Structure 1
């Protein structure tokens, strides 16, 4: 089993990071060609452990991008203490899809379950509602039916997309897990932070322009985060598309490596980027369950984190 020891000792307060915006941030493929000469990229081959975690270890079981296909999984979900899902658990975020996912979560044996949204959870993003949700609010120049008419349908029926965003407070249907949207959460002393945002992708949910707008979200990540959960990958790690294009966020990588320095960074979004890599200090995990053809064949990725002194399961 693989894990990283030691504990951060930062204050835990979020702040303006001073992370620079790369001059070519809108071209992540070109940026990575420049950066990769100075980055260590270690491909890790990991296996699901066959023995329970030690008493002083917290076992995390990670998935992402299940896209309403949990009933078609070709594997069992490993046991553990914490289940994490890094977004895109629906096709478009309609209430029936969310309820189905929530019922599936409820049947999982893990004591702690934590979920973030992805670009497919349209109904979770208040931009498409024309009004604020009860729990969250983000300002936008586009609201309601106008925006849903502007985005590409990605092979879905436009009427289905409109029906999804017409349903109020679908986020409240997640009752069998803790839903994080730019929020921290602590489990047995291990500090997590979850954020659904990603660089512009077809202008679906939680999309932001590359550069300043994305960095504003990453600036909110506390310095002492142990496990970071984002939907988007950082550039260079688990973000290579089948077209050869890099889709990750440049400023997210800089934020993660130069300021936050989590032990683990979990994400999904780019299905073909599934797997585990490291820069020698941080473990980067693309836990996309579906492959490029939307077949749910990639098994969950499991890791153990030491419980800090003074805490227990």
Structure 2
């Protein structure tokens, strides 16, 4: 059973028994602005929208800019998924060729990775679907959502771009598999953490709304060897009571 508590994460950074994970999202080509707010850690996760939605001849340059930055961050493992603005991923052959140049970076798309670290193994599953923005990247209709949601594997940390309340199928699957953490983004201005029904929900979206200005800091969480989630100091982060499982 998941146990949780709130404490000051930042005092535990050198503890060999704690895995520290940093969550970011929706950087919209302003990723270099947040570098100063990133602390060295074990794992960093980006839950989509690293670009601004353009679809032109500069697509690969945008990805290369992001990957060049992301790959050099001071974390042992770097994981990301796509978002509705990330049209550059549409050219999957060029994307995969470019991604292969960054062996320290993992891209998840209806796929998983298991990371053994500090005497425990964490399984991450990533799926970037969007539920209501027809014509944008990773849009799925209701039938497709149901199919993809059922394919989500049992995991410790689930990564999506969209929020749970936009898809009942996604929320149902979360209730079934009970991940330790569900990390997402997409909803600017709803940055923060919510704990409900044994799941810690994390919205790491950096940008404000309206507009894409860097407002919200990266979220840093610790996981103990018995997979207890240790939250950051409540003074440093927004703690939601119901969002993102209710509007």
TM normalised by structure 1 equals 0.63
TM-aligned CA distance change 1:64 to 1:45, over 3 Å:
farther
Is 2:8 the partner of 1:78? no
2:140 is aligned with 1:208: yes
- Aligned equivalents of 1:308 and 1:46: distance in 2? 17
Contact 2:39 2:74 in 1 (8 A): no
- Number of aligned pairs? 214
- List gaps (5 residues or longer) in structure 2: 228-247
Secondary structure, aligned partner of 2:37: coil
Matched, 1:217 2:148: yes
- The answer for the alignment partner of 1:159 in structure 2 is none
Is 1:48–1:301's contact at 8 Å kept on the other side of the alignment?
no
Q: Determine the structure 2 residue equivalent to 1:269.
A: 186
Asked if the contact 2:83–2:186 (Cα under 8 Å) also holds between the matched residues in 1, the reply is: yes
Match of 2:131 among 193, 199, 204: 199
Q: Could you tell me how far 1:90 is from its partner in structure 2?
A: 1.1
Gap regions ≥5 residues in structure 1: 7-43, 135-168, 236-247
1:187 to 110, 115, 121: 115
Map of 2:234 onto structure 1: none
CA distance in 1, matches of 2:139, 2:6: 31
Match of 1:299 in 2: 217
CA shift, 1:45, in A, is: 8.0
> Structure 1: how far apart are the matches of 2:37 and 2:169?
36
Change over 3 Å in CA distance of 1:181–1:119 after alignment to 2: same
Helix, strand or coil for the counterpart of 2:41? coil
Deviations 1:6-29 (A, max 9, x none): 9xxxxxxxxxxxxxxxxxxxxxxx
- Is the aligned partner of 1:231 residue 2:231? no
CA deviations on 1:94-153 (whole Å, 9 max, x unpaired) are 11111111111122110100011111111313xxx5xxx44xxxxxxxxxxxxxxxxxxx
Match of 1:95 in 2: 60
Cα pair 1:5 1:306 within 8 Å, conserved: no
Counterparts in 2 of 1:297 and 1:75: CA distance versus 1, 3 Å: farther
Q: Which is strand-richer, 1 or 2?
A: 2
Distance in 1, matches of 2:87 and 2:6, equals: 34
Partner Cα separation in structure 1 for residue 6 and residue 89 of structure 2:
34
1 CA distance for matches of 2:83 and 2:214? Answer: 17
How far apart in 2 are the matches of 1:64 and 1:80? 17
Using the size of structure 2 for normalisation, the TM-score is 0.79
